[in-house]
Amino acid sequence: MLTNAPDLPAGPPGHVAVVGTGIIGVCCARALQRDGHRVTLIDRNPLGEGASFGNSSVLATESVVPVATPGIWRQVPKMLLDPLGPLSLRWQYLPQLTPWLLRFLAASRPEAVERISLALQALLDDAIPSYRQLLKDAGAEELLVRRGWIAAYTTEAGLQSYRRLAELQHRRGVEVAELSVAEMRQMEPALTPELAGGFYYPQVAHALDPQRVLLALAELVQRHGGRILRRDVVGFRVAEGRVEAVETTDDSLDCDAVVVAAGAWSKELAKRLGVKVPLDTERGYHLTIPTPGIALSRPVYSTEFGMACTPLASGLRLGGTVELGGPVAAPNWKRAQVLAKRGLQLFPDLDTREASRWMGFRPSLPDSLPVLGPAPRASNAVLAFGHGHLGLTLGARTGRLVADLVAGRPAAIDLAPFAATRF
């Protein structure tokens, strides 16, 4: 039961301003419309050009294991020394990142991993069904397919290490089966025979075009009267513990409630609503290959390489890796070249000559859990950001939970683990 839900005035539904037009913000807007609210979406960037354009397009409902797990502290020296590794850290950003990194390492303790895993399980439950009705309403059901995905390992050490994580997933109810190399290649013949083995997750789904998913849902919001404004939000007008308006560089927008879902740009906005959160950015890269020369039926993932290979309507996307370097530094395009090299290790016949490259920002919190709940100093404000690798996965699910918060209804899950004040 919520004890600190935002307080909309009694009577007819109100006007809700949603800051952020990524997948989280758009899904929140549509869920609020279904409750009868008028919505206005506001973002500094053009619609469809952020992480919702460049992500790996997988609804990773098996991701009940946090990024930080026991023993990850041993990888920190390698993170500092190898700028092209699956998980790397830019030296020059270390002073700003150190508080985040210390919290990240604290989240890797066994008892913390168990607690975080339970919270992720609750949040991921119903993630895919939550999208079904949304995409049906948008006339875009064909964009979501469920064929599962394969985790592939090139070394026996990597396979053995992953077995421990698969055991935790199994305890959380995730359907997972270990595969031999022959079984993997029967499912995906393009895979190299030089593998140690892998795992199959039959319940995982993926989108054939993540940008089209976002644009279809945004169009649905607009068909139902929602507005989308390109503005730079700089703060809020707050009186007597309530947000009365969203302030932008151009104007002031009166509202009855506000949702902050601005992804990597949410930190300062949350601060203006009374809470400091250790939000930082994971810089992710992708290559999208229109004519890859191979065919995949489902995504293939490698934790050894930090890379997902996803078949899209536009070709094959090689996406992933984590670079901790902040939102300002220029891209290190050598990391995109590494994706091509790793792709060839998994798929010897892959043709990467026509690949296009991209870099974007995942909004990341050190304990792998998003912020999802009321702002502490504004009774009609909701915070919904920091989804890390699970932004696309949790879009529709987050929208429904945010609508519950704005309406003052009991949420479907306990939101205490996601409180902004947990830090």
DSSP bridge partners of 76 = none
Q: Do 91 and 150 belong to one domain? A: yes
Whether residue 201 is found in the same domain as residue 189: yes
User: What contacts 24+ positions apart, CB below 8 Å, involve 67-71?
Assistant: 67/104, 67/322, 67/368, 67/388, 67/389, 68/104, 68/105, 68/107, 68/108, 68/113, 68/366, 68/367, 68/368, 69/108, 69/113, 69/165, 70/108, 70/109, 70/110, 70/113, 71/108
Residue 219 and residue 271 share a domain: yes
* Each residue's pLDDT tens digit, 378-411: 999 999 999 999 999 999 999 999 999 999 999 9
Write out pLDDT tens, residues 89-147.
888 999 999 999 999 999 999 999 999 999 999 999 999 999 998 999 999 999 999 99
Q: What is the band of 49 on the pLDDT scale with cuts at 50, 70, 90?
A: confident
Q: Residue 53 above 80 pLDDT? A: yes
Domain boundary among 318, 344, 364: 364
Query: With 60 as the cut, is the pLDDT of residue 10 above it?
Result: no
Q: At 352, is the pLDDT very low, low, confident or very high (cuts 50, 70, 90)?
A: very high
Q: What is the mean pLDDT of residues 38-53?
A: 92
Are 46 and 185 in the same domain?
Answer: no
243 and 136 both lie in a single domain: yes
337 burial type by CB count under 10 A (0-12 exposed, 13-18 middle, 19+ buried): middle
Q: Which residues make beta-bridge pairs with 300? A: 150, 309
Give the count of domains, the chain.
Answer: 2
What does the pLDDT look like over 212-235, one tens digit per residue?
Answer: 999 999 999 999 999 999 999 999
Q: Name the DSSP letter for residue 357.
A: E
Does residue 3 register a pLDDT over 90?
no
CA distance 350 to 358: 19
- Same domain for 198 and 49: no
- Contact partners, residue 397, CB within 8 Å, separation at least 6: 123, 124, 126, 127, 130
- Assess whether 297 and 331 both reside in one domain: yes
- How many Cβ atoms from other residues are within 10 Å of residue 223's Cβ? 11
Give dist(CA 17, CA 29) in Å, integer.
Answer: 9
List the beta bridge partners of residue 179: 198
Q: Using pLDDT thresholds of 50, 70 and 90, give the confidence band for residue 80.
A: confident
Spatial distance between the Cα atoms of 122 and 153, rounded to a whole number of angstroms: 28
- Judge whether 272 and 289 are in contact, CB under 8 Å: no
Q: For the domain that residue 337 is a member of, what is the CATH number?
A: 3.30.9.10
Check whether residue 268 and residue 294 sit in a common domain: no
pLDDT given at position 195: 97
| Single-letter amino acid code for the residue at 259 | V
CATH classification of the domain holding 58: 3.50.50.60
Element (H, E) at 138: helix 127-138
- Report pLDDT for 8: 43
One-letter amino acid for residue 331 of the chain: P
Considering only CA atoms, which of 336, 313, 343 is closest in space to residue 190? Answer: 343
State the chain's mean pLDDT as an integer.
93
pLDDT of 7 higher than 80: no
Q: Which of 66-75, 127-136, 263-272 has the lowest mean pLDDT?
A: 66-75
Ramachandran quadrant class, 386 (left: phi over 0; alpha: psi -120 to 50; beta: rest): left
Per-residue pLDDT at 2: 38
For residues 285 and 316, state if they share a domain. Answer: yes
Percent composition of the chain: helix, strand, coil (DSSP 3-state, to 5): 35, 25, 40
Identify the pLDDT of residue 251: 93
**Which residue is listed with tokens 């973002």?**
43
Write out the residue range of the structural domain in which residue 54 sits: 1-65+110-144+206-277+367-423
CA distance 344 to 331: 22
The pTM for the full model equals: 0.95
Residues 79 and 157 in one domain: yes
pLDDT at 323 over 50: yes
- The residue from 320, 349, 364 where one domain ends is 364
Residues 126 and 193 reside in one and the same domain? no
Instruction: For the beta carbon of residue 128, count every other beta carbon within 10 angstroms.
Output: 18
312 and 194 in a single domain? The answer is: yes
Domain boundary among 344, 364, 384: 364
Assigned token pair, 419: 């409180």
Tell me if residue 325 falls in helix, strand or coil: coil
